[in-house]
């Protein structure tokens, strides 16, 4: 999948180096947009967004293109430019701009999100799914991405897996109205009992054996949330290990919930930590202000070395954009 995406991005990058007059559609004359050394590029970007939201994508693109001439690495502008092309169904131009962002920042949330939309809207569902897998690899708890995964699964008539995905969203946020509505539309496929299996191969270098990772999970939904029992097996460069995990999403109130997980392993070769405990508390009290605070505590014990981590994450949601601010407290390591 990654090779296919990288090859696709490379082809689009080559396309983007062709003369600008080949992409004149939708651009129009840019003589009315003047940017100097003293121009506030952020203010110009704000103006471009306002124009686009008022159905003037052509003028918005003129401004974005001028900003990028001044600062080619203003990735938010380039992503927004790609979005405007997608909204006007100029999908090839959208792919070109968004792929140029991924060349520089392969985990860019907005670019991956937008590329999924481009492929989904143009009915290239296989490529859309590839981008979605890549995005969820970086942002596994993103409600927005998980909802899009469920929509893609419903589009492909995979309603059972769509129900699993929506169950995951509701575990993360029990008050998610869109997920509730989608779940109710799935003709009762709420799947209180679930079994999942996965197999992953990671290749790091041709000179090394690939890393193999297997997971089997059995879970059940309760009134308070969900409980999952998981078995993980790994073969990392010929070192093998087993890990047993127990994970629960618990709803304390409609606004406070937690992800509680613990894992145990007793391998002669420490492929997995001997003990792995995660306490993740999330609050939706500030949802009206588009903020979501989280508190995460993680304890790792590998042989006789213990590491305790604690950090606080604040997520600011603006439209479809996520901005994460993390404050990592000092790490405590104990040798016992």
Q: Of the ranges 36-40, 84-88, 138-142, which is most confident?
A: 84-88
Question: Which position has the higher pLDDT, 194 or 84?
Answer: 84
Query: Is the pLDDT score of 25 beyond 80?
Result: no
Closest by CA position to 225, among listed 206, 197, 252, 193: 252
At the fourth CATH level, the homologous superfamily of domain 2-107 is Tetratricopeptide repeat domain (1.25.40.10)
Query: Is the pLDDT score of 295 beyond 90?
Result: no
Tokens 């679930």, residue located: 194
pLDDT band at 301 (very low <50, low <70, confident <90, very high): confident
Q: At 305, is the secondary structure helix, strand, or coil?
A: strand
pLDDT recorded at residue 311: 76
pLDDT recorded at residue 254: 65
- pTM for this structure? 0.55
Q: What is the pLDDT of residues 9-20, one digit of tens each?
A: 555 544 444 443
pLDDT band at 27 (very low <50, low <70, confident <90, very high): very low
Question: Which position has the higher pLDDT, 284 or 274?
Answer: 274
For residue 170, what are the CA distances in angstroms to 138, 252, 288? 20, 14, 18
pLDDT band at 223 (very low <50, low <70, confident <90, very high): low
Burial state string for 106-144 with b = 16 or more CB within 10 A and e = fewer than 16: eebbbbbbbbbbbbbebeeeebbbbbbebbbeebebbbb
In degrees and rounded to multiples of 5, residue 202 shows phi and psi of: -115, 120
Which stretches does DSSP call E strand in 237-320? 239-251, 256-264, 275-283, 291-302, 305-318
pLDDT band at 38 (very low <50, low <70, confident <90, very high): confident
Q: What is the mean pLDDT of residues 167-175?
A: 80
pLDDT band at 6 (very low <50, low <70, confident <90, very high): low
Q: What is the mean pLDDT of residues 50-64?
A: 92
Q: What is the mean pLDDT of residues 281-302?
A: 71
H or E segment at 123? none
pLDDT recorded at residue 155: 92
pLDDT recorded at residue 221: 67
Q: Are 129 and 156 in contact (CB under 8 A)?
A: no
Closest by CA position to 151, among listed 183, 112, 110, 176: 183
pLDDT band at 290 (very low <50, low <70, confident <90, very high): low
Rounded to whole angstroms, the Cα distance separating 9 from 18 reads 15
């Amino acid at each position: 999948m990654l090779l296919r995406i990288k090859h696709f991005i490379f082809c689009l990058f080559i396309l983007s180096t062709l003369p600008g007059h080949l992409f004149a559609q939708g651009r129009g004359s840019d003589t009315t947009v003047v940017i100097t050394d003293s121009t506030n590029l952020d203010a110009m970007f704000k103006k471009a967004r306002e124009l686009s939201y008022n159905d003037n994508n052509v003028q918005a693109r003129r401004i974005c293109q001028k900003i990028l001439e001044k600062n080619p690495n203003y990735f938010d502008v380039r992503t927004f430019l790609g979005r405007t092309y997608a909204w006007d169904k100029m999908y090839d131009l959208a792919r070109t701009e968004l792929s140029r962002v991924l060349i520089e920042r392969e985990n860019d949330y907005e670019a991956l999100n937008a590329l999924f939309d481009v492929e989904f809207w143009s009915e290239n569902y296989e490529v859309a799914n590839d981008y979605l897998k890549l995005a969820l690899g970086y942002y596994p708890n993103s409600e927005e991405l998980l909802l899009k995964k469920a929509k893609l699964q419903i589009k492909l008539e995979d309603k059972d897996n769509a129900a699993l995905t929506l169950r995951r969203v509701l575990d993360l946020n029990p008050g998610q109205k869109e997920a509730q509505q989608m779940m109710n539309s799935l003709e009762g496929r709420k799947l209180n009992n679930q079994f999942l299996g996965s197999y992953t191969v990671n290749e790091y270098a041709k000179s090394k054996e690939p890393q193999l990772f297997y997971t089997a999970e059995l879970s059940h939904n309760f009134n308070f949330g969900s409980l999952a029992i998981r078995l993980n097996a790994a073969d990392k460069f010929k070192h093998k290990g087993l890990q047993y995990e127990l994970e629960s999403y618990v709803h304390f109130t409609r606004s406070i919930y937690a992800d509680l997980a613990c894992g145990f392993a007793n391998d002669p070769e420490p492929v997995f930590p001997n003990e792995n405990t995660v306490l993740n508390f999330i609050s939706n009290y500030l949802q009206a202000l588009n903020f979501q605070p989280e508190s995460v505590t993680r304890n790792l014990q590998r042989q006789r070395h213990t590491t305790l981590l604690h950090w606080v994450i604040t997520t600011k949601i603006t439209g479809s954009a996520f901005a994460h601010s993390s404050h990592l407290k000092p790490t405590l390591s104990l040798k016992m």
